[in-house]
Chain A
Amino acid sequence: MEVIVMNKLKVAVALGATCAGCDVAILDLNEKILDVIEIVDFVFWPTAMDFKLDDLKALKDGEVDVGLYHGAIGTEEDEEIAKILRKKSKIVVAFGACANFGGIPSLTNMPYESKMFDVVYKESPSTSNPEGTLPQKETEIEGTKLTLPGIRKRADSLNSVIDVDYYVPGCPPMVPLIEQVVDVLRVFVEKGTLPPKGAVIAGQDTLCKECGRTKPETISYKEFVSPQEVKEIDPDLCLLSQGILCLGPATRSGCGALCTKMNVGCRGCLGPTDKVDDHGLKMISALTSLLEVEHEEEYTEEDFDKLLEKIPDPLGTFYRFTYGVSMISKLHPDKEE
């Protein structure tokens, strides 16, 4: 379709601690990428084009119309790049679950017995590291210093280091969401109007409405069954009511219920609604409320303890993508036992 564009939008795509799934997601517009090129000039996109950091630094402040950042803030340089992007861009968009909530990389913020370096460089069975060498921020080789960026104590969301204008969640953001972003850009190009600052470009309500599976009269389950142990998964009935863990009730709509359509429970990669500040705590409240709610009056405290014991890895399951921005991750462990 013929688009009369006064001037193309300058777009920069920067990345932090990423798996580049978000880059692939943009490329997954497939043929539509050609329409995007009509209204957009990529001035920075390392994964797909030959731009170097200095190319970004060389741009004038505010010269970039829209700066997309995907990946979590994991090293000091991620933070540096985010700040440069902020300086150079009129609008900064947090793109994908990592930039929005810390994503899977922020799982590293959870407490574990062993330290990361020990697990990777010492305890791994396939690593022979007798001297126990570990990567250093600076190494002297024949008089020259080879540097590595320092690893931050936490992998955080983009808005923990810079001011963010818009949010596009998802891991990676699904095609319908990216199409919404393209529409927003097109309207911005043609009319210069933008959604309210801080808007999340996804559904405002939760997945259950979009999922289309029927909800039975009563939703009450005894325990969560892992998908490989359940005898049969009903393709039309709500997964949660079948005891299959699904974070749909607490997760934004907008993805087209891709996972639940395939008999797989949602893990919340679009994050919570505007009103919820801690995705995991809200989901836990809903799920435990329905645990044996039909027969709860026959239970004692000890019976409930046994049931709760069977909930698999609550921290890792209910905070799969949002631990970085969760309230609970802001608590710190007590020094003493």
Chain B
Amino acid sequence: MKKEMDEKKKVGVFVCHCGRNIAQTVDIEKLMEKVREKYDVELVEDNMYMCSDPGQNLLKESIQAKNLNRVIVAACSRDMHEPTFRSAAQEAGLNPYLVEIANIREQVSWVHDDKEKATEKASKIIGSTIEKVIRDEPLEPLKIPVVQRALVIGGGIAGIQAALDIADAGYEVTLVEKSPTIGGHMAQLAETFPTLDCSQCILTPKMVAVSRHPKINLLTTSEVVSVDGYVGNFKVQIRKNPRYVDVDKCNLCDDCTAVCPVVVHDEYNQSLSPRKAIYIPFPQAVPASYVIDEETCLGIDPLICSKCKDVCLVEAINFDMQPEIIEEEFGAIIVATGYDTYPIENIGEYGYGAHPDIISGLDFERLLSANGPTQGVIRRPSDGKVPKTVVFVHCAGSRDPAKHLPYCSKICCMYSTKHALQYKHLVHDGTAINFYIDVRTAGKDYEEFYKRAAEEEKVIYVRGKVSEIIEDGDQLLVKAVDTLLGEAVEVHADLVVLATGLVPSKGTQEISHLLKLSCDSKGFLKEAHPKLKPVESALSGIFIAGTASGPKDIPETVSQASGAAAKAATILASEFLEREPQIAQVDPTTCGLCHTCINVCPYGAIYLDEGVGRITVREALCEGCGSCAAACPSGSIELKNSTSEGIRARIKALLQG
């Protein structure tokens, strides 16, 4: 049942000369005559420059004088001045959505030379626009309430930086980290290239800042289990797993580890050294507290040992802690779930990681670290001897589409060079040999760092891929080809470090399903636009920072974190999100709940509201593309101010006369 068009449509048409741009091939007088004669319009006026103040005043005065309720400006492309004319009309008291632009410049005067035909075409375009404007209804921009709180998933350097920036901007942040401490992989590094800053020295102040920031609610040993809702109104469920140690009471006296009978591999030290079932990941861990590893502890429920509880003077240990589901609402989400390294166990040519003296880059970082298993003295894991010859293999399992990762992970050349340089510092008479395909030094001062390692520290760079590493007595025979000299090369090394690339972390894969974020072919999260929207995801209100979207170094990660934080803050900045009102609406009388629209909507903006049994459009998510209206087999969905009947009328008007 058509709404009766009660109020008479009083249309004002304003034709712009645009100096000579339009007037040169469109006969303005004839055009105005044609429009007056062919179409039911209240008035037709013209002006040299409609976008100028006199032009806009003409518009405003005419609206008030003739109380026009529809306006058409026949001028340039709507991208140019639609906002100009809409706000002018608004000042004159007319709803801005009742103003339409007829493009007779880019689409007519600039591209045609036959004056008569150009004028005729301009008249048809105006006629078609009239059909649209008389069907337009007054609209208000949609106002979507925003929960002014952000969620950051992942407690590595990216998550830490993002959380701090948002909190500093004055908004509450919940930072969720799956492991017992924040810090991520950066906490495992000894020093960082190219400045050789001690990684802990530059990271721990930010970690402490997180723990002390009043606006940041830190949830470690926690993971996000479900995310519903949409930008401004994400309903999130977080499961906080029990630590079995009360963070506030524990004073890090370390008495408990002495009595704990369980000894297991220490993941923080890349399993190169042991830890107990009750442990602190590393001294500067945040939150500063011990934690009981439920899997390796002899038994909490039923309680088997409880030796640690007996010696804990401050009674910080509590076996009755249960997993807890926390439900919170957020206006924006930042995903910073980090990376994992490509496992050396996958690389058969280099011994599947079986030999103790063939280790990964992160293993070597731990050997270099003062709080590492060898207190910073480089010792071979097999016999603890200081290695005299160390081979660093660049692109281990990278740039190898046939068997391993096809892509380059950007940072391995730099951290291998750093490893060689640090090794030479510590073992002056040692020999460091780096096998590489290309040494990629694309960051600030990276090339100088590489020159320093090669020329000052005399690290030997051999251009060639290592074909095989086999045990030879108590040493390792490294076979390769020096492609510059064109000869085979064999080196007897005491230790081999494989510089493996970066792959999406397990957390990244899980969160992509949870948030329905699409991934690229390598499994990293896909940005909304690789060049222009690097920190936005395809879903509005959800942002991405750091290595979750691909391999990158720490400076790039931190800048992305701040970028994502800024984007999130813009959403949280206002109580309401304003959105274009031309969205879809569903007529339940003819809708047969066939789910076509739900599956067609690229934004998941349409859902079946079980309560009322009706298909409903989420105002916050609908972008007004209209795909659902074209697909709806019962014709029940229409776009506001862009109905199918309206478009039909516009086509018909173009073809008339």
Contact = CB atoms under 8 A, between A and B. Distances in A.
A250 interface: yes
A249 interface: yes
Contact of A286 (B587, B593, B631): B631
B631 A206 contact: no
B311 interface: no
Contacts of B594: 206, 208, 215, 248-249, 286
Contact of A249 (B589, B627, B633): B633
Interface in B624-644: 627, 630-636
B656 interface: no
Interface of B: 518, 587, 589-596, 599-600, 627, 630-636
Contacts of A219: 595-596, 599
A219 B597 CA distance: 10
B634 A250 contact: yes
Contacts of B589: 204-205
Contacts of A68: none
A290 B595 CA distance: 10
A245 B592 CA distance: 17
B40 to A, nearest CB: 26
B592 A209 contact: yes
Interface stretch (A106-114, A143-151, A179-187, A274-282): A274-282
Contacts of A248: 592, 594
A209 B593 CA distance: 6
Contacts, number: 82
B408 to A, nearest CB: 24
20 contacts: A204-B590, A205-B590, A206-B633, A208-B594, A215-B593, A218-B599, A219-B596, A220-B599, A248-B592, A249-B633, A272-B634, A273-B590, A273-B636, A275-B590, A275-B634, A275-B635, A283-B633, A289-B596, A289-B599, A289-B631
Contacts of A218: 599
Dominant SS among interface residues on chain B: loop
A293 B592 contact: no
A126 interface: no
A283 B631 CA distance: 8
Interface residues of A, number: 29
A275 B629 CA distance: 12
Contacts of B631: 285-286, 289-290
A215 B594 CA distance: 8
Given A250-B633, A273-B635, A275-B635, 15 more contacts: A204-B589, A204-B590, A205-B590, A205-B591, A215-B594, A219-B595, A219-B599, A249-B596, A249-B633, A286-B631, A289-B596, A289-B599, A290-B596, A290-B599, A293-B600
Given A220-B599, A249-B633, A290-B599, A208 B627 contact: no
Interface of A: 204-210, 215, 218-220, 238, 248-250, 253, 272-276, 282-283, 285-286, 289-290, 293, 297
A220 to B, nearest CB: 7
Contacts of A275: 587, 590, 634-636
Contacts of A250: 633-634
A160 to B, nearest CB: 21
B324 to A, nearest CB: 29
A289 B589 CA distance: 23
A285 B637 CA distance: 13
A274 B599 CA distance: 24
